[in-house]
Structure 1
């Protein structure tokens, strides 16, 4: 039950990232069309930037779970199973601490923007807490994904990002490897 819920959360966040990316495309195409009519789309640059941040943060958890974030395994990949599991757990704990910090501070920044009613300085006064919301949500979901993998490692299983990388390698797909 919990596995399905977490996987659904990761998938939903990836869907939001895809919608944000589609939003960037639509804003850019609207700009192109309106330029031909000698018109402008107000706040297009601001909205594109906000959607770019949303795309990035909402995609983090799903990308991590699929093993597609940049990972340097020069040392850990050479370890025997038990030391590797210990090192994997330590790295995941450090990643969790860092992401907890990022989630906390981006959340505080978003709440401060809401509290002071901060708005964009562009042509359209967009309340900035709205685009800033994507950062703590995406970072928080990445934190959940990291803790999810930590539990997997502590139970003695391979983390899903390792399994995904091994499956890609077995099929001859090295596109995500450096």
Structure 2
């Protein structure tokens, strides 16, 4: 199960990287086409959709690596027992919130598909397609949060805490700024 979950997080990060690279390709295509007095129709909309996909697909892997913004002012001052209870509480609240986001973004995708909603820009993109990144990405984040909740429930140190400690031990404080 661990290998499957890690593969899911890696695949999601790969999709985020592919989306980011696609933004680069779209922008460079725009530059090249401008030199020939042509336009890339829908490039702005496409870049915006890819930006959302990049963000949402990166959430799960970023969370597991401990690179999302985290405020530990209270947790860092607690003893091991109290800290574990607070980690569980915070992870449960995060799971509820992210579950809510995943549910409603999925409902939005379904609604866009049912009414055949299209973009109002120069290219009439079917909007359910770019919107799909939101429930998928938040769903993967939800899985990562539940994964951490179960690990902490079993008594393990959260992966994101271990990752931050390893970075600090190696002298890398870039994520702490």
Normalising by the smaller structure, the TM-score range is: over 0.9
In structure 1, distance between residues paired with 2:76 and 2:18: 35
Runs of 4+ residues over 6 Å off in structure 1 = none
Show the counterpart of 1:5: 4
Is 1:159 aligned with 2:158? Answer: yes
Pairing 1:91–2:90 present: yes
Which deviations, in whole Å up to 9, do the C-alpha atoms of 1:142-173 show, x marking residues without a partner? 00000000001000010100000000000000
* Cα deviation, residue 91, structure 1: 0.1
Q: How far 1:137 moved relative to its partner? A: 0.1
CA distance in 2 between partners of 1:125 and 1:72 (Å): 42
TM-score (norm 2): 0.99
Q: CA deviation at 1:117?
A: 0.2
Residue 122 of structure 1 deviates from its aligned partner by 1.1
1:13-32 to structure 2, matched below 5 A, reads 13-32=12-31
Give the structure 2 partner of residue 35 of structure 1. 34
Deviation at 1:136, TM superposition (A): 0.0
Count, aligned residues: 177
CA RMSD of aligned residues (A): 0.4
Normalized against structure 1, the TM-score is what?
Answer: 0.99
- What's the counterpart of residue 49 of structure 2? 50
1:172 paired residue number: 171
